[in-house]
A and B are shown apart, each in its own frame.
Chain A
Amino acid sequence: AQSVAQPEDQVNVAEGNPLTVKCTYSVSGNPYLFWYVQYPNRGLQFLLKYITGDNLVKGSYGFEAEFNKSQTSFHLKKPSALVSDSALYFCAVHNNAGNMLTFGGGTRLMVKP
């Protein structure tokens, strides 16, 4: 069975500082990895995905994520955080043969001015 772990319930960072939201996964076969963001009182929005190719993928709003096969990780990063980045972030994994996209438990990002 596939699974996703987001070890931090909450990440606090000061505006302007770099941020990292951690994600590790377990899946058979090649993983398809995704990050989604959920702003308050809104639905989930797709941020970025890794399917194949370059291990560093760039997405919306200046976010990027690095796929590390040996560590089975897909951490979300941004060089300079904004207060408006404060939201709930979900990592998700899909194997290339399955039907189900499995989500992690979510990490709340709080960016303080």
Chain B
Amino acid sequence: GAGVSQSPSNKVTEKGKDVELRCDPISGHTALYWYRQRLGQGLEFLIYFQGNSAPDKSGLPSDRFSAERTGESVSTLTIQRTQQEDSAVYLCASSFQGANSPLHFGNGTRLTVT
């Protein structure tokens, strides 16, 4: 079946502009995660959704970052007034509920802020 789909795959934007990143999880997956991966570095947790509620927003780096999810479907990550340090690959993952369920990752959105 279809995997996790993220769009766009690449985004180049000017500093100060807003961007919206989209994630379509695997159908039936109630849990959805956003991570950030800077070049050559590990994964930085941003936010977790269970259904359309976000019980853990602890990883969002600033109030410029926000995310929402519609039901148990599409999620969008919005970055307002982008800065150069926001440049990274933004990864979305989904899974069935439960800590023992493996995450299924999308291919990510590569964001470049010029």
Contacts and interface: CB of A to CB of B under 8 A. Distances in A.
Interface of A: 32, 34, 36, 42-46, 49, 51, 90, 94-106
A42 B91 CA distance: 11
B99 A96 contact: yes
Contact of B103 (A42, A46, A96, A106): A46
Contacts, number: 58
Contacts of B93: 44
A62 B70 CA distance: 39
Contacts of B56: 99-100
Given A43-B105, A43-B106, A49-B102, 19 more contacts: A36-B105, A43-B91, A43-B107, A44-B43, A45-B105, A46-B102, A46-B103, A51-B100, A90-B42, A90-B43, A94-B99, A99-B48, A99-B50, A100-B48, A101-B99, A104-B42, A105-B42, A106-B41, A106-B43
Nearest to A51: B100
11 contacts: A43-B91, A44-B103, A99-B48, A99-B50, A99-B55, A100-B48, A100-B58, A102-B45, A105-B42, A106-B41, A106-B43
